[in-house]
Structure 1
Amino acid sequence: MKHLVDELLVVARSTPDVVALRWFGGRDGGRVREEVTFGGLAERVERTATGLRAQGMEPGDRVLFSIRPRPEGVVLCLAVLRAGGAVVFVDPGSTPELFAARIAAARPRWAATEALLHAASSGPLRGIARSRGLLLPDYGQLPVRHLYTGRWLPGVPRGAHRVARLGRALPGTVRALEAAEADREALVVFTSGTTSDPKAVVHTVRTLGGMLELFGQVGDLKPGQRAHTDQMFLGLPAIIAGGTWEIPAKAPKDAPEAFARGVAGADSSFLVPADVTALLDVLEAGSKAGSKAGPAASAAGPAVLAVGAAPVTVALLERGRRILPGTRWLAVYGATEILPAAVTDADEKIAAAAAGDLVGRPLGGIGVRIDRATSEDSEDRTDREHPTDSADPDDAREVGELVLTGPSLMAGYLSDLDAGRARAVEHRTGDLAYQDAEGRIVLVGRNRDMIIRGTVNIYPGLFEPRLRELPGVADAVLVGVPVPDGDERVVLVVTAEGGTRPGGDPEIQAGTELARSVADQVVRVLDHGALPDLVVEASHLPLAGRSRKPDRRALVNLVTPLAGTVRA
C-alpha cells in the first residue's frame, strides 16, 4: 500500500514542472491566485512534514482541521498524513456544546485553523460573526498545539506556528511508510450524533487510499486532465493520476457564477446536488438573458460531472442534461463509511426510474449483500417484495437491507475503536434495495428514519428526545420533505402539552405561538446541521402499526404543502 505522498513523489519525478494545483481568486473568482507544480508540491509536503515532526508531531497524533480547500491547506493535510498524524474534520458551526463533545471524543493534540477563523472566533471579528448567527468556538483556548494558515491576525494564539514557515530551513527527510502502518488512523469525520454520543467515522491510510482509487474509477482520470472542484475526493485522485486539481475561490453554492466560468471546459468535476442546482440556476439564467439560441448553445460545462454525497434524483439529472447536454452526468452512491460504492450515468438512471432509485453497478472491489433478515419496521414491508413494474420476472428481486464491503470501508466508528472493539467488516447502509438481473443496485426505501439535507445525515431519534424537553412541547417529530433537486427540507412537527388527541387527520399550522417559541429555542439543543427549515404545530400526531409509532410518511404528506414555501 503506497502512501499518498509516495504516489505524489512518483508523479513529481516524471513531471516536476507540470501544474498540480491551480487556485482561483479575485473579486469575480476568475483570476489564478496560485499555481503549484508537482515538484513544488512534493517538496512543500516533505518539508512541512519534516517541520511538523521537528515541532513534536508524533505518529497517531490527531489534528483538528478547519482549513478551506486551497494549496496551503492541501499541503498541510498531506504533510500531516506524511508525518503520521490523522486529520480530524469537525464543523466549527455546530453548537458550542456539541463542538465541545466532539473535541472531547476526538482528543486532538493539534489544531490547524485559518487565521481568519481565529479572528472571527476570539478576535476583533467575533462580534460580526455573532451578529450573523455564527457562534464559533474559541479555537485559541483549546488545550492543543496550534497551526494556522494565512497572515497573522488578532486572535491567533501565542506560540502558534504558521504553516507556510514550517520546514523552510529543513530538508524533507520523513521516512517512507512501512507496510504495517497502512492500517493506522488517517482521517476522522464527524457525521452526526448528540453531545452524549458523538458519531465519527475513522478511515486508515489503507481505506483512504482505497477511497481515492475508487474515485479514480468514477472519473476515469488520466494525466494532463483538469479536475475543477472543491472536493478533495476528486481533487486528490486527479493529481495522483497526473492531472491538475483546479480549486475554485469559493464553494460553488457561494459563488456559482465564478464556478460556472471555471468549470467550463474542464475534464471533470464533483458536486453535491445543492451545488448542482446553484450552478444550473446560473447557467439557465445566463442563457435566457444572453442567448437567443437557448441554453444548449450558450452554456458550457465539464466533460464529466459526478454528483454525489446526497441522493441524486432523476429530475436533477434531466435538468442537467437539458442545460449541459455536452456533459456526461454521473450519479455516485456511497456513505462516509464506504465511499464511493456504485455509479451510474444519467441515461441509465433515467431509463430505470420506474423500477426504483437506480444507483448503479458496484465499483471494482465493492462487495454487495442484500440482507432480508433485518428491518426495523417489518409492518411496512408489504409493498417491498415486488419493487419493479417490469414485465420480466427475472427483474423482480426480494428486498432487504443493503450491506457493503470493499477497499474503502471505514476502520470503524471512533468511539468503538477507542474502546478497543473490533474493526468494521461491513457497512449496513440502512437502505432497502435489491440487485437486478445485471447486478445493478436499486434502492426502494429506507430501513431507518434518516433525513439527508445537503451532505448531512440527520437521525431524528438522536434529537427528538431533547426537543420533547422544550417548554410547552408534548411530542416532537423531525421529518424530511423531498424537493426536486434530491435534497430534503427538514420540518419539525410539535404538539402542545395538554392538547387533545382527536381522531382523523391532524390539523397542521405554521406560525402558532408554540411553533414560534420552539423555533427560537432549537438552536440551543440541536447541532446547526440538524436545525429545521420549518417548525409547525400539529393538533396530534398520526400513528401507525401495532407499536402505534408516529406515522412519518403521513406527516410528510401533511406538511409538504407548507414545506414547499420554505427557501433553503
Structure 2
Amino acid sequence: MPADLARTVLEACARHPDRVALLDGLGRPVRFSALRSRVLAVAAGLRTRGLEPGDRVLFAVPPSPTSLALALGVVTAGGVLAFADPRAGEAVLTARAALLAPRWAIAASPVHALAGRPWRRLGDVTHVRVGPWLPGVPRTSVSWRGVSCQRRGVADTERPYSSVDHEAYGDHDAPALIIPTSGTTAAPRLVVHSRAGLGAGLAAFAARVPFGPGDVVHTDQLMIGLPALAGGATWSLPALGARASRLGRVLRRRGATHTFCVPADVETVVRGGLPPGLRGVLLGAAPVLPGPLRRLRAAAPDAELLAIYGMTELAPACLATAEEKIAHTDGGAEGDLLGTPLPGVDVRVVDDELRFRAPHQAVGYYGTGDESGVADTQRLRRRAADIASGDLGRVLDDGRVVLTGRRKDMIIRGDRNIYPGLYEAAVTDLPGVREALLVGVPTPAGDEHVVLAVAGTAPSAATVRRLFGVDAPDEVVVLDELPRGGRSRKPDRAALRDRLTRR
C-alpha cells in the first residue's frame, strides 16, 4: 500500500506509545499514545459535525501539539488543509479566502483580532477556535475541544489500537494540503499536495536523514518534524517568538540531537553557542552559502551539516553536506552545489532551467481558472507532470545538481518566500504612486534585503504594514522613474536590483 501522511504518523504513534512524541514550546512532553488519541478524536469529531472528504479547511493555528493534532485530524477525516498566515497583508488574506471558499476555518482566538476583516467576512463557514472566546471571534464558533470526540478525564492510552482507525477517509491520492506560493493579489497561486504524495516525501527524507527513537529534533518545520515523528523520534517545538540567539540554550535544555536553522540566523546562533552533543544541523529555506557553513562547522565540529533544497511544489528535492558545498566552491567550480537528489527525484534541464519530477511532488495548482478546482485530481496531476523550479542550473556527471541563477522573481528573507506579484499591484493602486517594484538585494549571509521602489509618492509606514503584513519591505525608496528595458520599456527588475546593489 502506498505511503500516506496520516497513516504513517499514526502507525508510528502505535509503535511507540510510551515514548515522548512532542515537546511543546515550554518543553512539556506529549507521548505518542496521547498524540494518536487526539488526532483520531479530532477526525471523528469533525466528521460527526459534518466535514466531508474534500472540504477545504482554512487553518491558522501557531505550531503546538494542539495545532498538530488538529491538522492531522483534518487530513485523517478527509479534509483539505489550507494554511493561512494571519500575519500576511489584508489584501492577500482576502483574495485567498475568496478563492478557496472554505467550509471550515480553524484559527487561534487571537488570529481574528490580528487578521481582522478577512476572517470575519467568511460566509457559510463553521468556525473552530483554539483558545478562549475573544472580541472579534465569531459568536457562532465552537471550541476545538467541543469538536473533538475525546472525553475529558479519559486517558489517551485507553483508546484501543485498530489499524482501521489509521485509514484516512477518502482517496489517498486526493488533495489533502494547499500551500500558498507565487501569484498576484487578484489570483494567488496555491499548490496542492495529496496524502500519498506527502507520505512519499516523508519516506524519501527518511531514506537520507533517518531519525529514530532517542533522537530529539528541534524545529518548527513541518516537513522535518513529521519525518522525526514517523521514525519514532521526539519533535521539539520552539516557543512562539523564539530568538535565534537563545537556540543553543534551548537545545541544551531539551537534549536536542538535531535542529533546523535558516542561513540568515547562523551568525546569531553561532554567537549564542551550540551544545557539544549536537549530531545534526539542517539548513534551508534560503541559499546556503559556504561562509555561514564554515562558521557553523567551527561551532559544531561533530555535527553533520546538511543543506536542503526544495520548493513548495517539491520539498525536499536535493541534499548536500557542508563539505560538498565548501569543496565545490573552493575548487573554483561555477554555481552553488545543491547536492544529490533524494530517492525517486528525477532532474533534467530544459532551456537552462532545472525541472523536477518525483513521487512526492504536488499534484497541481488550485485556482488556475478551472471551476472544478481540486476536485479534478486527474487534471491537476497532468498539469504537474513536470515541476519547473524557476531556477537555472545544470546536472553533473555524478547526478549532483548545481544552481547557477534564478529566473523567478521570488525574494527570500529568513524563512519566508516573498512574491512581488502579491503586493505590487496593491501598492500601485495607492494615491500618488505611479509604479512600484519589490526586489531583493543579496546580503553576505545569503539572505535578501527587501526594497520597495516607487515612482511617485512614498506610502506611509502604516499603509505599508497594512498591505504587506509580515512581508513588509526593509526599505522604501522613491525614484523619479523606475529603470526600464526591452522593446516594451517595461520596468526592469534586474536593472533595479543591480542599481540598488551598487549603492
**TM-score bracket for the superposition, by shorter chain length:** 0.7 to 0.9
User: Which among 338, 351, 357 is matched to residue 359 of structure 1?
Assistant: 338
Specify the alignment match of 1:458 in structure 2.
418
Call closer, same or farther: CA 1:157–1:477 in 2, change over 3 Å. closer
- The higher radius of gyration belongs to 1
Distance 1:518 1:12 in 2: 51
Shift of 1:310: 2.0
What is the identity, as a one-letter code, of the residue corresponding to 2:478? E
Call closer, same or farther: CA 1:457–1:16 in 2, change over 3 Å. closer
Specify the alignment match of 1:142 in structure 2.
122
Query: Bigger shift: 230-239 or 307-316?
Result: 307-316
1:306, 1:330 within 8 Å by CA — same for their partners in 2? yes
Query: Bigger shift: 453-462 or 331-340?
Result: 453-462
User: Which among 193, 208, 213 is matched to residue 198 of structure 2?
Assistant: 208
Distance 2:309 2:443 in 1: 18
Distance 1:256 1:530 in 2: 19
User: Which among 378, 401, 421 is matched to residue 353 of structure 2?
Assistant: 401
Call closer, same or farther: CA 1:109–1:402 in 2, change over 3 Å. same
What is the identity, as a one-letter code, of the residue corresponding to 1:304? G
Specify the alignment match of 2:32 in structure 1.
38
Between 1 and 2, higher relative CO (CA 8 Å, sep ≥ 6) is seen in 2
Shift of 1:190: 1.4
Call closer, same or farther: CA 1:20–1:445 in 2, change over 3 Å. same
* SS of equivalent residue, structure 1 residue 266: coil
Call closer, same or farther: CA 1:48–1:523 in 2, change over 3 Å. closer
- For residues 243-258 of structure 1, the aligned pairs below 5 Å read 243-251=233-241, 254-258=242-246
CA RMSD of aligned residues (A): 2.8
Call closer, same or farther: CA 1:477–1:97 in 2, change over 3 Å. closer
User: Which among 149, 154, 158 is matched to residue 167 of structure 1?
Assistant: 149
1:219, 1:268 within 8 Å by CA — same for their partners in 2? no
Distance 2:398 2:429 in 1: 50
- For residues 52-451 of structure 1, the aligned pairs below 5 Å read 52-118=46-112, 121=113, 136-137=116-117, 139=119, 142-143=122-123, 144-165=125-146, 166-169=148-151, 175-177=165-167, 181-251=171-241, 254-264=242-252, 265-283=255-273, 299-300=275-276, 302-353=278-329, 354=332, 355-372=334-351, 400-416=352-368, 418-419=372-373, 420=376, 421-423=379-381, 424-451=384-411
Query: Bigger shift: 64-73 or 151-160?
Result: 151-160
Give CA-to-partner distance per residue, 1:446-474, whole Å, 9 cap, x none: 22333222343334355444444444444
Shift of 1:443: 0.8
Shift of 1:68: 1.2
Distance 1:14 1:99 in 2: 40
Distance 1:179 1:101 in 2: 29
Unpaired segments ≥5 residues, structure 2? none
* SS of equivalent residue, structure 1 residue 12: helix
Specify the alignment match of 1:480 in structure 2.
440
Distance 1:561 1:137 in 2: 41
Specify the alignment match of 1:499 in structure 2.
none
Call closer, same or farther: CA 1:141–1:461 in 2, change over 3 Å. closer
Shift of 1:403: 0.4
Distance 2:415 2:191 in 1: 15
Shift of 1:316: 2.0
* SS of equivalent residue, structure 2 residue 53: coil
What is the identity, as a one-letter code, of the residue corresponding to 2:109? A
2:86, 2:111 within 8 Å by CA — same for their partners in 1? no
Call closer, same or farther: CA 1:259–1:472 in 2, change over 3 Å. same
What is the identity, as a one-letter code, of the residue corresponding to 1:532? P
* SS of equivalent residue, structure 1 residue 44: helix
Distance 1:79 1:179 in 2: 11
Specify the alignment match of 1:6 in structure 2.
7
2:427, 2:436 within 8 Å by CA — same for their partners in 1? yes
Q: TM-score, normalised by structure 1?
A: 0.77
Identity of aligned residues (%): 42
Shift of 1:178: 7.2
2:11, 2:166 within 8 Å by CA — same for their partners in 1? no
Shift of 1:554: 3.9
1:191, 1:456 within 8 Å by CA — same for their partners in 2? no
1:101, 1:195 within 8 Å by CA — same for their partners in 2? yes
Shift of 1:540: 4.2
Shift of 1:139: 3.5
1:234, 1:269 within 8 Å by CA — same for their partners in 2? no
Shift of 1:307: 0.9
Matched, 1:51 2:45: yes
Give CA-to-partner distance per residue, 1:472-523, whole Å, 9 cap, x none: 4444332210112221111122334xxxxxxxxxxxxxxxxx34x4666445
Shift of 1:4: 3.4
Aligned residue-pair number: 479
Distance 2:237 2:435 in 1: 46
Call closer, same or farther: CA 1:319–1:304 in 2, change over 3 Å. same
Distance 1:79 1:469 in 2: 41
Call closer, same or farther: CA 1:88–1:42 in 2, change over 3 Å. same
- For residues 504-523 of structure 1, the aligned pairs below 5 Å read 514-515=457-458, 517=459, 521-523=463-465
